[in-house]
Amino acid sequence: GLFHLSIVVLCPPLTSDSISTVLAAATITMKLTSTVCFPRQEIMKWNGWGYSDSKFLFNKKGQAEFTGKRYRLSGMVLPSLQDWFENTFGASVNHKSPPALNASAVPPASLNEAFVEDLKATGIPFSHEAEDRVFRAHGHCLHEIFALREGKKFERVPDMVVWPNCHSDVVKIVELACKHNVCLIPYGGGTSVTSALECPPEETRCIVSLDTSQMNRILWIDEKNLVAHVEAGIIGQDLERLLNESGYCTGHEPDSMEFSSLGGWVATRASGMKKNVYGNIEDLVIHIKVVTPRGVIEKSCQGPRMSTGPDIHHFILGSEGTLGVVTEVTMKIRPIPEYQKYGSVVFPNFEAGVACLREVAKQRCAPASIRLMDNEQFQFGHALKPQVSSIFTNFVEGLKKFYITKFKGFDPHQLVVATLLFEGDRERVLQHEKQVYDIAATFGGLAAGEDNGQRGYILTFVIAYLRDLGMDYYVVAESFETSVPWDRVLDLCRNVKERINRECKERGVQFQPLTSCRVTQTYDAGACVYFYFAFNYRGLADPVHTYERVEHAAREEILANGGSLSHHHGVGKLRKEWMKESISSLGVGMLQSVKDYVDPDNIFGNRNLL
Amino acid sequence: MASKTLYSQRDPMLKRDGFEDILEERRNSSDLKYALRCYAPVLYKGVTPCKANMLKNIVLQSDQLRYVINQVSQESGEAPDIIQEEASVILEEMAHRLQISTVRFFAFALSKAFKTLFQHVCVNEEGIQRLQQAIQEHPVVLLPSHRSYMDFLLMSYILYTYDLALPVIAAGMDFMGMKFVGEMLRMSGAFFIRRSFGGDKLYWAVFSEYVKTMLRNGFAPIEFFLEGTRSRTCKSLTPKLGLLNIVIEPFFKGEVFDVNLVPISISYERILEESLYARELLGVPKPKESTSGLLKARRILSEDYGSIHVYFGQPVSVRSLAQGKVNRSTYNLFPRHIPRKPMEETQSFVNDTAYRIVRLQEDNMVLKPWVLMASLLLQNLEGMELSVLTEQTVWLRGLALSYAAFLDWPDHAPTAKVVSSSLALHRGLACVSGGRVSLVVGEPLGPVTPEEALFNRAVSVLSCASYRNQVLHVFLRPAMLAVAMHTAASSKKSEWPGLYNCFSFLWDMFSNDFILCPGDTVQDFEEACYLLVKTGAVQMPQQDIVMTDIGQPTLSFFNGLLEPFLQGYQVVCRYLCEEASEGLTEKQYIPAVRSFAVKLILAGNLRCYEVLSSDMQKNALAALLRMDAVRKVKVADQVTLIVNKMAVNSIDDILGGKLPTQKALLARL
């Protein structure tokens, strides 16, 4: 029972209206009518995160609820959210920021007629409807969503959108783009948070958004070698669902997997929640096919490891759409694990928690996922507890709280929680679980149940929806991440939080900001740290600018404390300015020379990275 | 070259806090109650204080120390256990054992002593409030000026009085000679460091880790003296960087978010050690600190030492200072527990910071009227009419105030009263007879040799100079410009470039004697011009700087103010050119210069007694070494001084105004 329940949580929409199904339906329509509108926006918000039917709101009684039917939290009332929200941000549910719905201020399309003519001849569907173009002009950075909500005009959006159906369609499009000097920007799931999808305002050529969503098939599965060959436009949850039907999974589950695409993962060096078992994207790919202005890059075989000079895959992984379009990927698959179990451990403080994760990494016994939330996030998680149905459950909860805070002497304003996810055959999972809990105990950790663990992972999927709720009430929020050596984790977390608090104060933010972090991945030599940062912007003239300055300062603090520029979000245009500092100017030169060779006319002109 | 428009950034009218006398309450309520009252200071981010033993364990088990122990063990072939034991012994010798009971004892005893010795102990309470705030937010380093043994007891006394966290204080090992007192000090928060441990890796590691552990955890504010030792001259000493490097490093390594440095200026109206210092500077060896010596000092208790002013300056954030100057990410590629020499960028930042802090200390030193009188008396060693002294003191007060001196001049008191009460307090230094004021020369018993008489007079002069020295930082920059103008007048050059060259030469020459921030020559020159113009002493038409009609008294006072330094340095130069033998060793240098000067004075060829001060002799030598006019060569166990006579000679000539600066610079090349 539990196992199935958890799958529901992790892979929310099992219903028939998953994105690609809708899109596929559209494709059929298109073939009949040839007036093209691929209606992602029909099921997804045009000015916020995720599905249109799923959102947080404060109902007439002032209680928070989460609408829709897709998630475990859907349809539930969350009685403590309002208090938490008001106390944390000094916000009030009575102060609603009016959403402006003037979204039609879209610059007119400037089309390259010759290109359009040639494209028509290929029969590949395209569109220059304003809605389609604006939808693909942004990712999910705060400033992008804020601009959409405020109805601000985008300086530059794609002039048209094109939907290739397969690898050879992409080859044709890229050839035509080269022929007519058109700028191409690949678009996968649109979940970028690095301004990577923003059109460079200085671009004078026609910009074509190349939407990969129609290339969403699993082309073959090779059970002997446990690999699958997949088109790169497939969305994470669809890939898992389709593989599950054959008894397999990739195990690659980035937090954005509901919406992000395989090609996007490759282009940004994505990382999945369960990388401890399955690896990150660079460990998962066996073969990549990329269409570039110079032609198609691929390898000659699928050898599991090669010594053939620097791995050309690594020019593609993390290239952020600057070199070409990833069309097909051969990727490792695994049989679906027999058993899955959540868990959680409460520690008296963050220091103890980090020490425990470090030890787990040292002993190389990390479960599929192990994450450590700080106290702020622990409290936030509690605020998302649904209304308890029976008095009895409430009583048990109360007892647990009493035991942890009073009997064990944990300070509720200090304690932190680690959430765990174990996978494998049942016996081994139980054995593994014991090993991890034993280590935790030596750091003062106290097992806190499966439910708390599971709630932690729910948070991951709904937190992006919460940002939209915040923006309804003058609260802006964003997340950012880094990777850092073990010995600097604590110092980095403390200093970055403090820097944010200080910068907010100096920049006139009237309310105490929320700064929270969690350690989301462990490695032999370090960890990935993920920050959330939010503040109430009432009284600020330009909250987005303030926000951006604070994030800039926070990134500088990260770099000064030995953190990396990015662990998995990528660089995009948001963090370009630090590339030289991060990889040396010689390093930038190396990447530049690859770009110059592969794409001399800058056809893939999104200007990310370099 | 300086542009005319870029004047000093320093606010000439610094805003300063008012003072409260903390002795007042002590005179009206029970000292015992005060010593036993509830003491519950707020600590950094609410940490719980760490027991001395626990602290030692943290240090001994730190990665930093373990690394060095293994390193030393590998180099020496000794087992790590033995080195570990050594480290433990070092730590034992070093560590403080702060105990509230001892602090209470001192609170009681010092209350009694202070009330007898001093009229007032004044503290700026706003500074205390700022400090209280700072202690809660960041690790705090207290950096008081150092003029007396009293300083650190006084500091702890004040912090106890205001219910602030008691500091741990870096003290020189010489205190350890006084067994009982040493232990008492240890229990009131002192930790002891050897004066020199040059190459001793293990010692350095234990020491720096001990300090950093306290700082990182915010267990207690760290207190030390940037000047390294008590200033015997009442001039601020050029800062020592060792400890400052240690307390700043945790910030660069990201171990703390910030470190706050708090400059504290402790001004004594009369210093307990006044004549002791003068004798020490004249070559009577410093009495070894011993408990019985301290007890003899009891007779001190019968005298009046006026007031003490303690000014807690604005906390300085290392983070803000380092912004844009030090790239912290250069620390990313090296394990933080492995000791490493600081990078050049860091070194110059720390050096610069140290100078800025000492200048902040200077800025907030409280000056008494006597300081102005002493400056005038020293320019009139033959004595002066009381009425003239009074008149000139009033004039000098105006000048000092317009240069932003922190002058504590009694309100509403008639000038004559101010002058006479100053003379009364310092009757050991100056006396009035027949309407004339002159320096007191100690009356020795029995017959006196000429040398002895000279020596007695020198004690008076140096004691008096220690008061004049307190005001030097106010006048220094314009005074150097005045000297430059004076020199230029003799070579008929008053144009900017020439004046600036001359100023810059003096700046360089005197940068061991005075606090001149490295690299600030241009800024200081501009400040000097600004101040002289402001008080109407000079005008600056186009390329010239010209003395005005009313500027004469100011400029000649300034020339007189620096005269002893110019003369002193010249005597040193002349000694090195004329008398110094081939194999002059560093050890022989001071007595040799001294006897050379004594000869000159006795022969009536020199009237400057200050050159007898070993402090000036050392500073002059340091300047000559810096300018490559003298070199040190190590021969066997001895350090020998090799003199470039031509260079020294030309420096002598410039100081005497016989040679324009540029020519001299060429000669050096």
ipTM: 0.86
Interface touch B329/A559, C-beta < 8 Å: yes
User: Taking a C-beta distance cutoff of 8 angstroms, is the pair A145, A47 a contact?
Assistant: yes
- Identify from B67, B257, B336 which residue to disrupt to test chain A contact, counting A C-beta atoms within 10 A and taking the largest count: B257
Inform me whether the C-beta atom of residue A487 falls under 8 Å from chain B C-beta atoms: yes
**Does residue B19 carry a pLDDT above 50?**
yes
Interface touch A494/B257, C-beta < 8 Å: yes
Rounded Cα gap, residues A120 and A128, in angstroms: 13
Rounded Cα gap, residues A557 and B267, in angstroms: 40
Chain A nearest CA to B86, separation (Å): 28
SS (H, E, C) A519-567: EEEECCCEEEEEEEEEEECCCCCCHHHHHHHHHHHHHHHHHHCCCCCCC
**Does residue B56 carry a pLDDT above 70?**
yes
Chain A nearest CA to B271, separation (Å): 43
Chain B nearest CA to A562, separation (Å): 5
- Identify from B332, B334, B345, B346 which residue to disrupt to test chain A contact, counting A C-beta atoms within 10 A and taking the largest count: B332
Interface touch A488/B254, C-beta < 8 Å: yes
User: Taking a C-beta distance cutoff of 8 angstroms, is the pair A338, A453 a contact?
Assistant: no
Local structure of residue B329 (DSSP, 8 states): G
Arithmetic mean of pLDDT over chain B: 88
Closest residue in B to A556 (Cα) is B329
Within 8 A of B336 by CB-CB distance, chain A residues are 487-488
For B126-165, the pLDDT digits (tens) are 999 999 999 999 999 999 999 998 898 999 999 999 999 9
> Can you give the pLDDT at residue B341?
87
Report the residue from B255, B327, B335 with minimal CB separation from A491: B255
Within 8 A of A498 by CB-CB distance, chain B residues are 257
Closest residue in B to A501 (Cα) is B257
Active site residues of A: 530
Within 8 A of B335 by CB-CB distance, chain A residues are 487
- From B459, B303, B464, select the one nearest B373 (Cα to Cα): B464
Closest residue in B to A499 (Cα) is B257
Size of interface A-B (CB pairs under 8 A): 25
Rounded Cα gap, residues B506 and B481, in angstroms: 9
- The single-letter code of the amino acid at B242 is G
Inform me whether the C-beta atom of residue A580 falls under 8 Å from chain B C-beta atoms: no
> Can you give the pLDDT at residue A62?
78
A322 is in an annotated binding site: yes
Interface touch B254/A498, C-beta < 8 Å: no
Interface touch B336/A495, C-beta < 8 Å: no
- From B546, B550, B576, select the one nearest B651 (Cα to Cα): B576
Rounded Cα gap, residues B247 and B213, in angstroms: 10
User: Taking a C-beta distance cutoff of 8 angstroms, is the pair B160, B107 a contact?
Assistant: yes
For B379-388, the pLDDT digits (tens) are 998 899 999 9
> Can you give the pLDDT at residue B5?
32
For B339-360, the pLDDT digits (tens) are 988 889 999 999 999 999 999 9
> Can you give the pLDDT at residue A24?
37
What interhelical angle do B496-509 and B645-655 show, nearest 10?
Answer: 120
A270 is in an annotated binding site: yes
> Can you give the pLDDT at residue B490?
63
A426 is in an annotated binding site: no
A187 is in an annotated binding site: yes
Within 8 A of B334 by CB-CB distance, chain A residues are none
**Does residue B91 carry a pLDDT above 80?**
yes
Classify each residue of B33-55 as buried b or exposed e, where b means 16 or more C-beta atoms within 10 Å of its C-beta. Answer: ebbeeeeebebbeeeebbebeeb
Contact residues of B toward A, CB < 8 A: 253-255, 257, 327-329, 331-332, 335-336
Say if strands A339-347 and A446-447 run parallel, antiparallel, or are unpaired: antiparallel
- Identify from B329, B331, B334 which residue to disrupt to test chain A contact, counting A C-beta atoms within 10 A and taking the largest count: B329
Within B218-343, residue ranges assigned H as helices are 242-252, 274-281, 291-296, 318-322
| Farthest-apart Cα atoms in chain A, separation | 76
Tokens of A502: 């200080």
Rounded Cα gap, residues A25 and A37, in angstroms: 11
Mean pLDDT of B361-374: 96
Within 8 A of B317 by CB-CB distance, chain A residues are none
Residues constituting chain A: 610
Report the residue from B254, B327, B335 with minimal CB separation from A492: B254
**Does residue B286 carry a pLDDT above 60?**
no
CB-count burial class (<10 Å; 0-12, 13-18, 19+) for A25: middle
Q: Going from the first residue of chain A to its last (610 residues), give the mean pLDDT of each consecutive group of 10, the final group possibly shorter.
A: 32 39 37 41 82 86 86 84 87 73 73 96 94 92 89 89 97 98 97 96 97 96 97 96 96 94 97 96 97 97 94 96 98 96 94 98 97 92 74 64 73 91 95 97 92 82 87 91 97 97 94 95 97 93 93 97 97 97 96 98 97
Mean pLDDT of B175-192: 83
Report the residue from A487, A560, A581 with minimal CB separation from B336: A487
Interface touch B332/A498, C-beta < 8 Å: no
Chain A nearest CA to B337, separation (Å): 10
Chain B nearest CA to A368, separation (Å): 30
Interface touch B254/A499, C-beta < 8 Å: no
Within 8 A of B255 by CB-CB distance, chain A residues are 491
> Can you give the pLDDT at residue B239?
96
Closest residue in B to A561 (Cα) is B254
Interface touch A487/B254, C-beta < 8 Å: no
Interface touch A495/B331, C-beta < 8 Å: no
> Can you give the pLDDT at residue B14?
60
- Identify from A358, A493, A498, A555 which residue to disrupt to test chain B contact, counting B C-beta atoms within 10 A and taking the largest count: A498
The β-bridge partners of A369 are: A421
User: Taking a C-beta distance cutoff of 8 angstroms, is the pair B300, B176 a contact?
Assistant: no
Interface touch A562/B257, C-beta < 8 Å: no
Query: In whole angstroms, how large is the CA radius of gyration of chain B?
Result: 26
Say if strands A416-424 and A339-347 run parallel, antiparallel, or are unpaired: antiparallel
> Can you give the pLDDT at residue A411?
86
User: Taking a C-beta distance cutoff of 8 angstroms, is the pair A587, A314 a contact?
Assistant: no
Rounded Cα gap, residues A70 and A13, in angstroms: 6
- Identify from A358, A414, A495 which residue to disrupt to test chain B contact, counting B C-beta atoms within 10 A and taking the largest count: A495
Chain B nearest CA to A228, separation (Å): 40
Inform me whether the C-beta atom of residue A338 falls under 8 Å from chain B C-beta atoms: no
Tokens of A436: 């991890």
Local structure of residue A16 (DSSP, 8 states): T
Residue B4 CB neighbours (<10 A): 12
pLDDT band at B293 (very low <50, low <70, confident <90, very high): low
**Does residue B630 carry a pLDDT above 50?**
yes
Block residue for tokens 């010596």 = B293
Say if strands A334-335 and A248-249 run parallel, antiparallel, or are unpaired: antiparallel
**Does residue B235 carry a pLDDT above 80?**
yes
> Can you give the pLDDT at residue A32?
31
Mean pLDDT of B234-254: 95
User: Taking a C-beta distance cutoff of 8 angstroms, is the pair A529, A493 a contact?
Assistant: yes
What is the full DSSP assignment across B178-206?
SHHHHHHHHHTTEEEE-S--TT-HHHHHH
For B391-436, the pLDDT digits (tens) are 999 999 999 999 999 999 998 889 999 999 999 999 989 999 889 9
> Can you give the pLDDT at residue A534?
94
Return all residues near A123 (Cβ < 8 A) that are at least 6 apart.
none
Rounded Cα gap, residues A49 and A145, in angstroms: 9
Inform me whether the C-beta atom of residue A299 falls under 8 Å from chain B C-beta atoms: no
Per-window interface: A 498-537 vs B, CB < 8 A: 498-499
Residue B547 dihedral angles phi and psi, to the nearest 5°: -70, 140
Which residue did the predictor score with more confidence, B293 or B26? B26
Chain A nearest CA to B412, separation (Å): 44
Say if strands A183-187 and A207-211 run parallel, antiparallel, or are unpaired: parallel
> Can you give the pLDDT at residue B636?
80
Chain B nearest CA to A360, separation (Å): 20
User: Taking a C-beta distance cutoff of 8 angstroms, is the pair A438, A364 a contact?
Assistant: no
Inform me whether the C-beta atom of residue A121 falls under 8 Å from chain B C-beta atoms: no
- From A354, A394, A349, select the one nearest A376 (Cα to Cα): A349
Closest residue in B to A553 (Cα) is B323
B446: left (phi over 0), alpha (psi -120 to 50) or beta: left
A389 is in an annotated binding site: no
Closest residue in B to A485 (Cα) is B332
A192 is in an annotated binding site: yes
Inform me whether the C-beta atom of residue A326 falls under 8 Å from chain B C-beta atoms: no
